[in-house]
């Protein structure tokens, strides 16, 4: 059975034809480790983990690379705000990120390279771009000259003017044109820096992925993934600098992007004050519930995060775990059961198959197949005791206390103090209370 994926490079669902069937390569943009991952960050973790599992089931060898950006302006700012070193901050967040991945039952990628460990490769690539006439130096900065790459904007299916309009393109008098993007920039005296032919400084964010993907997957590879917010400018810039530095006709053949998670139909983002961090769920809800929730909608569609979604997933898994037994024999899942996943990772369709298998297993038929099919996408991988340990009683808190907390949170949001608003939300969550912003009002329920 063939795998089909929606390729954003062509804006079509296409049959997956690898460069080499015996050696599949996939690169997915990982975290910038300046703050703990939130639920929105969890969606690509789960989606590309499922794709990794599917590819491994079909092909002989699959290399999955997910980078860690541990040098960036956001990291520098966050470390200063917290009054700790950049290294202390990144180590702390990387540790939290790995815990989140384990909590969500994600398999480890083949490689998880850190940007700071590959600065030499980035400097080498910048030199290649300068020597080939695609980059220029100005005041210790190095920029990629976008107009030199005729295919720029092909991934976004937009022309250059449309891409720049309304986007967060860095404004600088050092550039020849506004669309040019930085490959290297100088660091201040109190910031992390590395020696380079252009002075002490650090690489641009876009360059990091190009250098690391080349090291582990080569100049051309099969799949590049990430959230849809990375299409422009990050992935457009990766394509431009990689193809120009390597003199190749393509960078990655298939570009796969997941849609956003929303809350009350608003994108989950710090600017909206609606961030839910994964780590805050760890002691309250099984990671299995979050994993099922994150795959409950097709990856190309927005997923609205709310307490009903979590309650439904909890109820489903409660039912499924009642069938679970330690003497289950894990077997190969037939392609007919996997068919929805082969059709552009249709996880809702696959979950529908699991419900059908459950009905049969509940009658004593194909119990091994049901559990094996759940395990294929990272579910039912806890024993019953672990599962029951997550079931908690409602905490003792009065309605008046809840309403007072909500008033304080709303006041914090009005003052754009989103850190305080998140803190109050988490305090309520720890006491068994879920809150949700809907139509300008805040509603609450016990978990």
User: What residues are paired with 263 via a beta bridge?
Assistant: 266
Q: From CA 300, how far away is CA 284, in angstroms rounded?
A: 29
Give mean pLDDT, residues 46-69: 98
User: What residues are paired with 313 via a beta bridge?
Assistant: none
Rounded percentage of the chain residues whose pLDDT exceeds 70: 94
Q: Residue 395: what pLDDT? A: 46
Q: From CA 100, how far away is CA 40, in angstroms rounded?
A: 12
Q: Residue 165: what pLDDT? A: 54
Q: Residue 167: what pLDDT? A: 57
Q: Residue 164: what pLDDT? A: 66
User: Residues 3, 54: contact at Cβ < 8 Å?
Assistant: yes
Q: Residue 440: what pLDDT? A: 76
Angle between helices 399-414 and 418-430 (to 10 degrees): 160
Q: From CA 225, how far away is CA 27, in angstroms rounded?
A: 6
Task: Indicate the Cα dihedral angle 262, 266, 267, 273, nearest 10°.
Answer: -110
Q: From CA 201, how far away is CA 184, in angstroms rounded?
A: 7
User: In the predicted model, is pLDDT for residue 163 greater than 70?
Assistant: no
Report in angstroms the alpha-carbon separations of 54 from 27, 344, 358, 394: 15, 11, 21, 39
Q: Residue 271: what pLDDT? A: 66
Q: Residue 394: what pLDDT? A: 42
User: In the predicted model, is pLDDT for residue 348 greater than 80?
Assistant: yes
Average pLDDT for the chain: 91
Hey, CA dihedral for 342, 296, 351, 282, is it positive or negative?
Answer: positive
Rg value, the chain, Cα: 23
Q: Residue 372: what pLDDT? A: 95
pLDDT tier, 272 (very low <50, low <70, confident <90, very high otherwise): low
pLDDT tier, 351 (very low <50, low <70, confident <90, very high otherwise): very high
Q: From CA 88, how far away is CA 315, in angstroms rounded?
A: 40
Lowest mean pLDDT among 65-79, 120-134, 395-409: 395-409
Give mean pLDDT, residues 29-51: 97
User: 185-204: per-residue pLDDT in tens?
Assistant: 999 999 999 999 999 999 99
* Residue predicted with more confidence, 54 or 394: 54
User: In the predicted model, is pLDDT for residue 26 greater than 60?
Assistant: yes
Burial class (CB in 10 A: 0-12, 13-18, 19+), 410: middle
Q: How many CB atoms lie within 10 A of CB 2?
A: 9
Lowest mean pLDDT among 103-107, 124-128, 169-173: 169-173
Give mean pLDDT, residues 222-249: 97
Backbone angles phi, psi at 196, to 5 degrees: -150, 170
List Cβ neighbours of 354 (8 Å cut-off, separation of 6 or more).
320, 370, 373, 374, 379
User: Residues 228, 256: contact at Cβ < 8 Å?
Assistant: no
User: 365-421: per-residue pLDDT in tens?
Assistant: 999 999 999 999 999 988 777 787 776 444 457 777 888 889 999 988 888 888 888
List Cβ neighbours of 244 (8 Å cut-off, separation of 6 or more).
129, 132, 134, 144, 148, 149
Q: Residue 287: what pLDDT? A: 94
Q: From CA 404, how far away is CA 343, in angstroms rounded?
A: 49
User: In the predicted model, is pLDDT for residue 21 greater than 60?
Assistant: yes
Lowest mean pLDDT among 124-128, 192-196, 303-307: 303-307
Give mean pLDDT, residues 254-263: 95
Report in angstroms the alpha-carbon separations of 427 from 263, 285, 388, 433, 447: 19, 15, 23, 9, 13
Q: Residue 391: what pLDDT? A: 61
Lowest mean pLDDT among 48-62, 63-77, 194-208, 305-319: 305-319
Q: Residue 63: what pLDDT? A: 98
Q: Residue 393: what pLDDT? A: 41
């Amino acid at each position: 059975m063939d795998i089909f994926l929606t390729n954003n490079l062509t804006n079509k669902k296409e049959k997956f034809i690898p460069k080499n069937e015996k050696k599949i390569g996939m690169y997915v943009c990982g975290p910038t480790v300046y703050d703990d991952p939130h639920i929105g960050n969890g969606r690509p973790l789960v989606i590309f983990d499922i794709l990794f599992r599917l590819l491994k089931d079909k092909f002989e060898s699959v290399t999955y690379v997910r980078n860690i950006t541990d040098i960036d302006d956001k990291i520098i700012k966050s470390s200063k705000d917290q009054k700790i070193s950049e290294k202390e901050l990144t180590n702390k967040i990387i540790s939290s990120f790995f815990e989140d991945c384990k909590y969500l039952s994600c398999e480890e990628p083949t490689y998880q390279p850190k940007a700071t460990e590959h600065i030499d490769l980035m400097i080498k690539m910048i030199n290649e771009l300068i020597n080939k006439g695609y980059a220029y130096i100005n005041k210790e900065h190095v920029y990629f000259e976008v107009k030199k790459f005729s295919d720029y904007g092909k991934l976004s299916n937009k022309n250059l003017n449309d891409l720049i309009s309304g986007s967060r393109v860095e404004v600088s008098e050092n550039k020849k044109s506004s669309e040019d993007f930085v490959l290297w920039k100088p660091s201040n005296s109190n910031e992390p820096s590395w020696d380079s032919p252009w002075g002490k400084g650090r690489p641009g964010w876009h360059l990091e992925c190009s250098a690391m993907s080349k090291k582990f997957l080569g100049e051309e590879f099969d799949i590049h993934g990430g959230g849809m917010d990375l299409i422009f400018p990050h992935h457009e810039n990766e394509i431009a600098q990689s193809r120009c530095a390597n003199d190749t006709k393509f960078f990655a053949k298939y570009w796969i992007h997941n849609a956003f998670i929303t809350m009350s139909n608003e994108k989950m983002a710090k600017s909206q004050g609606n961030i839910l961090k994964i780590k805050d769920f760890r002691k309250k809800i099984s990671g299995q519930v979050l994993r099922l929730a994150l795959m409950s909608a097709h990856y190309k569609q927005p997923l609205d995060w709310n307490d009903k979604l979590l309650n439904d997933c909890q109820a489903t898994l409660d039912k499924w775990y009642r069938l679970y037994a330690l003497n289950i024999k894990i077997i190969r899942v037939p392609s007919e059961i996997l068919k929805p996943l082969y059709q552009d990772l249709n996880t809702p369709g696959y979950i529908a198959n699991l419900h059908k298998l459950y009905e049969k297993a509940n009658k004593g038929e194909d119990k091994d197949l049901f559990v094996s099919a759940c395990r294929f996408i990272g579910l039912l991988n806890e024993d019953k005791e672990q599962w029951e340990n997550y079931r908690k009683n409602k905490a003792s808190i009065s309605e008046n206390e809840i309403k007072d907390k909500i008033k304080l949170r709303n006041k914090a949001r009005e003052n754009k103090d989103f850190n305080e608003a998140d803190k109050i939300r988490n305090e309520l969550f720890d006491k068994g209370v879920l809150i949700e912003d809907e139509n300008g009002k805040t509603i609450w329920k016990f978990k």
